[in-house]
Amino acid sequence: MPTAKAYACDDEKTHFHPATVTLRDPGPTEILFDIKYAGICHSDIHNARSEWRPASYPIVPGHEIAGIVTKVGSQVRGFAVGDKVGVGCMVGSCGQCEYCKAGTEQFCTGPGGTLWTYGPDRQGNPTAGGYATAFTVDQSFALHIPDAIPFQASAPLMCAGITTYSPLKRWGAGPGRQVAIVGLGGLGHVAVQIAAAMGAEVSVISRTRAKEADGRRLGASHYYALSEPGTAGELAARFDLIVTTVSADSQLDPLLAMLRVGGVLVDVGLPQHPSSLYMSSLTHGARVLAGSLIGGIRETQEMLDFCAEHQVAPIVEVISGDEITAAYDNVVASRVRYRYVIDTSTF
């Protein structure tokens, strides 16, 4: 069986070290590829630090993966050795339930449900994610990376891209719509680009104006700092759609008050702790509070093609394997502009 170099951590302190992982030989419908780049997502940190649920250690995280195909199974169609390939948050589902047939494999209700990129497999055995030099995946969960997207910037789109594209598309971001993105971080800076490319009038809502120049350069027409007195009142009943990308705990009522009648607030930041709100924040104005979980494989490929067509790409800082530990702390402290990407040639 093939092996790969990797970086793993042994407990919730997330001190990463070199490791070796064993991969399965690709089956008839599977692809083996060399990982070239892997993004660091805040959800990797939540998982590796057991903040959402107890992790199984040692753990090799990573679900924003970009690489080059090195081997294909006998029944693989559409991928060939040498192709660019991406893998996101999931690598398996039943394929037969109503949600899989609808192209929303992330909601699979079949036996075993959705198989996520790292964590226990169907037999309960630990699996490795993208902080490695190779990966095996079924062709049904592999994505084509268009040449128009810079290769190292393509990795974060596998999560940050689809996480923001899906709700923006679903809730009608487009011409004539006022759309606000809360937070200009790893998710937010991609969301601004996508919403602007869809034709919406985009505003960024942040704590301060420290990133205003970036926000406007990425496509925002307006930029608001909540630390400035009167900002919340100025924004009352202003937006048709708000997508909050902030992973820190925050209050929802002030954001709901910024929605027009029938407006929608979507939270994709996944804060660690429960949130509360007054139901009147929803009923007074028939406002909607919605969730969104990545997107299916078909929609993720659609997102990649959209980003290629509209020149949407994450701004990345490329790091080596021995910088992962420090990168985790920097992400939590919002010291990255805007997404770390690991160069696996440094392993």
pTM exceeds 0.85: yes
The predicted structure's pLDDT at residue 249:
81
Instruction: Please check whether the domain covering 161-291 is classified as CATH 1.10.357.10.
Output: no
Q: Are 62 and 44 in contact (CB under 8 A)?
A: yes
Phi, psi (degrees; rounded to nearest 5) at 201 = -90, 115
Task: Tell me which residues of the chain have a pLDDT lower than 70.
Answer: none
pLDDT per residue as tens digits for the range 75-124? 999 999 999 999 999 999 999 999 999 999 999 999 999 999 998 788 77
Domain ranges of the chain: 3-158+314-346, 161-291
pLDDT attached to residue 124: 77
Predicted local confidence at residue 250, as pLDDT: 84
- What's the confidence (pLDDT) of residue 272? 78
Q: What pLDDT score does 125 carry?
A: 76
Distance, first Cα to last Cα, the chain:
20
- Supply angle C-alpha 225, 289, 62, rounded to 5: 75
- So what CATH class is 3-158+314-346? alpha beta
Using CA atoms, how far apart are residues 296 and 289, in angstroms rounded to an integer?
A: 21
**DSSP helix/strand/coil, 146:** coil
Q: For position 120, what pLDDT does the model report? A: 79
Per-residue confidence (pLDDT) for residue 58, from 0 to 100: 95
Collapsed DSSP state (helix, strand, coil) of residue 142: coil
